[in-house]
Amino acid sequence: MTKRRILTYVGYCGFGLKGSQIQSTIAPEYTIEGIIAKRLFNHHLLKENNYLNPEHLRLDRSTRTDKGVHSLANFISLKVESAVNRSDEKATESFADSIQQMINSKSENEQVPLTMNNYQQVQQFPDSNLKAFRVEVISRRVNTRSLVVIRGYEYILPFQIILNLVKQFDSSPQKEDKILDLLRLKIANEDIYQLEEEKKTSLLLQVICEKLNYILNQFEGYHSFHNFTLPSASNDGEPILRQIYHCFASPTRVKCDNNHEEWAIRIKLSGNGFLQHQIRKMISSALLHIIAPEIMNQEFLDIALKSNEEIFVSKVPGEHLIHTRSILYDLEMEKRFSSCREQQITFKKTILYPKIFKEYRSVLEEHWDKYAREVESFGNEWLSKKEQVKNRALENIETQRLLTLQRQEKDAKFRQDLLSQKKLFPVRALPNGYRSHFYVKFKLYPHDERAIKTLSTLEAMILSQKLAVSSSFELLDQVVVSEKLLNPSEIQIDEEL
């Protein structure tokens, strides 16, 4: 027997779990890594003395999900016992397939049914619905943490939750003024009372998504998210700058069970990486723009996102968050694992969506009540100190704006000098920050062939002096369209994953 390193591509339901990462202080059945380790141990692929020791297992993962968060696309690697010859490719593939089956089969003692006799002795563990979509045997040189270059997430929000929050923050006796205000953005006041319920829902969904996107779209690009994570993250040396490629909301119908569908708002995000609680705080900011616009307006967002001020932002419950995509740096590996797409979509629609909708009617309503109380508390505190913070923040934002202009001028002059000396390399031809802007503007990822080709063409145009080195972002965007380097109408974001 020898040790072989395996890479598992898994999906799971986070309800009841303490997160994805194995923890020494809690039972393995409460983490995804613990569940995987225990299932492989039960099939004699891990030794008893180290099957829950992350160091002995060389346990690693591409993404760590928090308590209650779900995933369709997490990579987890570990070492297992194997009698398979390393040079035998067919046997190695069969070995990987057998491990996939082992992970997908529940251990006998993992979910013991409760009876009157064992009720006190047996613990009922959460059902993770763990599913391995693919397993591969990999070399020890593969760095699991560095496999993924872009991560995608989805926050599925039942429409009824938003309506409840709007009413909860409505001070009118009938609790309907805020709903009417939203409808008035789409229809004349006198026509509102003639609306059929279905049409009213459709209009509300439209206006709610527009208001959410007003905030969400401003997160796209390269920003400091120091106010959208744990306060300690800014002080422990972790980089707080992040690139967000897409961030938007759209209405969708969700099948809750065999005979029932409901409206929901689906918020999609993608980026090169996210800080702890970042997504939940971003989504909370967008929600606040609807339920408490006196707190979350453009002024607040500018201070939170563009200044050095430290301000509190509440976070929405994590149980609606799904890690949906892991785009890999290695294109060959990306092609192999992308074959799991249909399995992932099925898992999301048949397992995760129904569970989220079922739980929100019971357990999660409490979580949203807690969120509303937190918003009320932090809102009152913010409004009392806003003016004091605002003056400092606006001065800081203006200082940073002037510094950015100076850096842009300096960058353009530097590139112009290099060009005149014929020392300007293609990779430095474009203005600083344009690539980040381009990916957001044209809804493309860095590894996309269309993005690579278009940016290479722009670089060549600058090097040949068809375009000035000092060309602004806006001018470069116009060239992309006018020269037909890209057709924006043909670019579509994958809304399923």
Mean residue pLDDT of the chain comes to 91
Q: Which two tokens stand for residue 34?
A: 């613990």
pTM greater than the 0.75 cutoff: yes
Q: What are phi and psi of 12, to 5 degrees?
A: -165, 160
Q: Are residues 114 and 239 in the same domain?
A: no
Q: Is residue 116 scored above 70 in pLDDT?
A: no
Q: What is the pLDDT of residues 120-165, one digit of tens each?
A: 444 567 888 999 999 999 998 999 999 999 999 999 999 999 999 9
pLDDT higher than 50, residue 221: yes
Query: Do both 89 and 158 map to the same domain?
Result: no
> What is the per-residue pLDDT across 244-255, written as a single tens digit (0 to 9) for each?
999 999 999 999
The number of folded domains in the chain is 3
Average pLDDT over residues 393-404: 95
Closest of 222, 221, 214, 225 to residue 248, by C-alpha:
214
Report the alpha-carbon angle 37-32-3, nearest 5.
30
Contact 462, 411 (CB under 8 A): no
Let me know whether 141 and 98 are in one domain: yes
Residue 56 is encoded by which pair of tokens? 């002995």
297-356 per-position pLDDT tens digit: 999 999 999 999 999 999 999 999 999 999 999 999 999 999 999 999 999 999 999 999
Same domain, 455 and 329: no
Are the C-beta atoms of 81 and 44 separated by less than 8 Å?
A: yes
Domain assignment present for 314: yes
Answer for the pair 36, 76: CB distance below 8 angstroms, yes or no.
yes
What is the residue whose two structure tokens read 């993924």? 148
Do 339 and 199 lie in a common domain?
yes
Residue 472 belongs to a domain: no
Q: Are residues 123 and 267 in the same domain?
A: no
pLDDT of residue 28: 86
Who wins on pLDDT, 388 or 218? 218
Pairing of strands 70-82, 321-328: parallel
Residue finishing a domain among 98, 128, 146: 146
Residues 114 and 184 in one domain: no
d(CA 294, CA 69): 30
Residue ending a domain, among 116, 146, 176, is 146
In a domain, 423, yes or no: no
165 and 131 in a single domain? The answer is no
Inside any domain, residue 425:
no
pLDDT given at position 119: 35
363, two tokens: 């357990």
Length of the chain: 497
Among 110-114, 141-145, 342-346, 467-471, the minimum mean pLDDT is found in 110-114
Say which CATH number the domain at 142 has: 3.30.70.580
- pLDDT exceeds cutoff 90 at 494: no
List the one residue out of 473, 495, 489 whose CA is nearest residue 408. Answer: 473
Whole-number Å distance between alpha carbons of 242 and 224: 6
Return the pLDDT at 203. Answer: 93
H-run or E-run covering 398 = helix 363-420
What's the pLDDT at 234? Answer: 57
CA atoms within 13 A on the CB side of 205: 20
Residue 479 lies in a domain: no
Helix intervals (H) in 253-340: 278-291, 298-306, 331-337
- Give the DSSP letter string of 206-262: HHHHHHHHHHHGGG-EEEE-TTSS-GGGGTTT---EEEEEEEEEEEEEEEEETTEEE
Residue range of the domain that includes 443: 430-459
Within a domain: 12: yes
Single out the residue in 358, 388, 418 at which a domain terminates.
388
255-278 pLDDT, tens digit each: 987 788 999 999 999 999 999 999
Whether residue 116 is found in the same domain as residue 169: no
- CATH code at position 229: 3.30.70.660
In a domain? residue 397:
no
**464 domain residue, yes or no:** no
- Please say if the pLDDT value at position 115 is more than 50: no
**Cβ proximity of 82 and 135 under 8 Å:** no
107 & 158 share domain: no
Give the C-alpha separation, 153 to 316, whole Å: 14
Helical (H) or strand (E) element with 74: strand 70-82
For residues 274 and 239, the answer to whether their CB atoms sit within 8 Å is no
Four-residue CA torsion sign, 389, 395, 396, 400: positive
Residues 40 and 94 in one domain: yes
pLDDT of res. 118 = 39
More confident residue, 116 or 289: 289
The predicted model gives 165-194 an average pLDDT of 87
Same domain, 384 and 238: yes
Residue 217, classified by CB atoms within 10 Å of its CB into exposed (0-12), middle (13-18) or buried (19+), is middle
| Residues with Cβ within 8 Å of residue 140, at least 6 apart in sequence | 5, 58
Question: 71-99: per-residue pLDDT in tens?
Answer: 999 999 999 999 888 889 999 999 999 99
Tokens, residue 195: 């609306």
Indicate the residue type of 28: P
